[in-house]
Structure 1
């Protein structure tokens, strides 16, 4: 009997009960192949009714699949950690985990730690989502060497072999923040970005330079190392202020840099937003808990995460040719740090 406790149910038992082939059962249960939706639903219902569960060891040997994917970022803890506790990464992880589980796959979160470098050489995964990789990102190189399927949230700059990616529309987001500052009365806006080669910095700088040209302003740009976190943001802000004392608006895409900049401004005796209007990109815990709260962007990360998992499974299953998916456009969340007084 198929449901006898003396032996383990097999895929053949499910196939016989559903009246389909073993191949159809395998494709239906793993959401692969061209299976009619009604047949797929029937197979899953029969498998659940019989109490069938796959032999994972045999399945791994047969398919070569680990049934696990990873989510990782090269952004250091000084930016990704702190009071936000990996806010940007964790917000993506929450939806990505759910989307992966719907496909019967576990998601492994790889935090931005030095120890994670060697872990990537042995981690048993079928694919990975990389958040905002830098040019020549070591994570990408390690995983590509192993043949792991990859997609990125935000394009990888200067990549010889481009990763499939979710387009975060960085220049549009930059224009949204800069135009908000202008509308709130800022006449001389500076830009504080990271020294690393990330799409978000490159796109923001392109938007900023276009903004300066359109408004006949000389660019005022300073760069800080992500590894320095809030302290690097504070130091860079003061450097920019010393070089451009007439500055009355500051665009700081990295939230850790932004909170550091606000602290530095206040220690210098300047008021936010009366003397300096400040905006950042990610609407996370840092932006909301800053005093005053920071104007930021809702980047719709739940939808972004779901799209990234969708694109990754197209790569893993060889079911799609898309190299880019457009993320939803960011929306402005205006707060006290930039509003007219």
Structure 2
């Protein structure tokens, strides 16, 4: 039988109204009374009716996370850490996939479904900086994730794409690798993960006095294993010679590694490899994959905190904040010194 507010009131020796005030964080309650009610709630395992509470407070205790695609391991793991960060704040999360479709990305920001959430964490892929004005019409508290829209009208939490890719490339250069290939480029892209990471790769080459070679840059469509495998097949078929590989995400690195191994290349002896995102699978591949940890946990925690501040201060003018999470190079077996 479910525990009710009446049961809590009876055990605590207070009125139902007092229990309701405690549950809804009414400020003018004596500390000893609040403690007595909370002890009764804990002892009985009472769970408030969040729907009814939301109707009274105007809040639902639910936020929306809009991401491109859960098939991408990074977004799946980001969703996990966002849900844990939200849960620590007493929030539930609805996950919605946009499929990187422009119309759907715009559609998910409006409509009746947004009346069911207190705020939105929004990672766009189809929209860009020229679309930032669209966000001005969003009345629900909003925090941006990802790399497509900078300098928008609200908070933005993301990773250091250029710096991370530069560090990944510099790591291979420090091993003595001078012909470093790339998989994951998008032709003509400047703003976006692919464009920013290619910029970091080029900066590291320039810092080391190594000429950029367009023949070593593998372009892809989607950032999946299949894309990395296809890009690597094209690189090998072209006859390009390389002794290092920077993959713009871990999934593409895994696809490229499989193709290289099938071709008889040894990792890391012939080709040292590093990916990006530090997804869990990289710890268990053969060899284990070096990668860039982009700070997923920090991204989730800061984004949820920023969103809660906006939810808790309706109507307040909060100047847009930009937060870049710290990254680190994670060295594993795929980029150690060759064993001679």
User: How far off its partner does 1:293 sit?
Assistant: 1.6
Conserved in 2, the CA contact under 8 Å of 1:156 and 1:162?
no
Conserved in 1, the CA contact under 8 Å of 2:135 and 2:153?
no
Deviations 1:26-80 (CA, angstroms, capped at 9, x unpaired): 8846xxxxx79xx897675354246487564454334332210122321462xx1
Indicate which of 297, 306, 310 corresponds to 1:311: 306
Conserved in 1, the CA contact under 8 Å of 2:205 and 2:212?
yes
User: How far off its partner does 1:127 sit?
Assistant: 1.4
The yes-or-no answer on 1:3 pairing with 2:1 is no
User: How far off its partner does 1:326 sit?
Assistant: 3.2
Mark the CA change 1:94 to 1:45 in structure 2 (over 3 Å): closer, same or farther.
farther
Q: 2:335 aligns to what SS in structure 1?
A: coil
Alignment correspondent of 1:324 = 322
| Structure 2: segments with no counterpart, 5+ residues | 1-5
Mark the CA change 1:154 to 1:160 in structure 2 (over 3 Å): closer, same or farther.
closer
CA distance in 2: counterparts of 1:321 and 1:136, whole angstroms:
22
The yes-or-no answer on 1:109 pairing with 2:95 is yes
CA distance in 2: counterparts of 1:322 and 1:119, whole angstroms:
21
Conserved in 2, the CA contact under 8 Å of 1:164 and 1:323?
yes
Alignment correspondent of 1:32 = none
Q: 1:256 aligns to what SS in structure 2?
A: helix
Deviations 1:224-273 (CA, angstroms, capped at 9, x unpaired): 1116x222211112323444622211110221211111111122222222
Q: State how 1:239-254 maps to structure 2 within 5 Å.
A: 239-243=234-238, 245-254=240-249
Conserved in 2, the CA contact under 8 Å of 1:212 and 1:219?
no
The yes-or-no answer on 1:339 pairing with 2:336 is yes
Q: State how 1:282-321 maps to structure 2 within 5 Å.
A: 282-318=277-313, 320-321=318-319
TM-score scaled to structure 1, two decimals?
A: 0.74
Indicate which of 250, 255, 263 corresponds to 1:268: 263
Mark the CA change 1:134 to 1:205 in structure 2 (over 3 Å): closer, same or farther.
same
Alignment correspondent of 1:69 = 63
Alignment correspondent of 2:184 = 193
Q: 1:282 aligns to what SS in structure 2?
A: coil
User: How far off its partner does 1:108 sit?
Assistant: 2.2
Deviations 1:274-294 (CA, angstroms, capped at 9, x unpaired): 221111012223322332221
The yes-or-no answer on 1:211 pairing with 2:204 is yes
Mark the CA change 1:285 to 1:198 in structure 2 (over 3 Å): closer, same or farther.
farther
Q: Name which of structure 1's ranges 179-188 and 314-323 shifts more when overlaid on structure 2.
A: 314-323
Mark the CA change 1:95 to 1:268 in structure 2 (over 3 Å): closer, same or farther.
closer
Q: 1:151 aligns to what SS in structure 2?
A: strand
Alignment correspondent of 2:38 = 48
CA distance in 2: counterparts of 1:187 and 1:128, whole angstroms:
44
Mark the CA change 1:246 to 1:71 in structure 2 (over 3 Å): closer, same or farther.
same
Q: State how 1:65-104 maps to structure 2 within 5 Å.
A: 65-75=59-69, 77=71, 80=72, 86=73, 88-104=74-90
Indicate which of 114, 119, 122 corresponds to 1:127: 119
User: How far off its partner does 1:143 sit?
Assistant: 8.7
Alignment correspondent of 2:276 = 281
Mark the CA change 1:292 to 1:3 in structure 2 (over 3 Å): closer, same or farther.
closer
Give aligned pairs, total: 310
Alignment correspondent of 2:169 = 178
Conserved in 1, the CA contact under 8 Å of 2:9 and 2:19?
no
Q: Name which of structure 1's ranges 171-180 and 231-240 shifts more when overlaid on structure 2.
A: 231-240
CA distance in 1: counterparts of 2:219 and 2:32, whole angstroms:
58
Conserved in 2, the CA contact under 8 Å of 1:135 and 1:198?
no
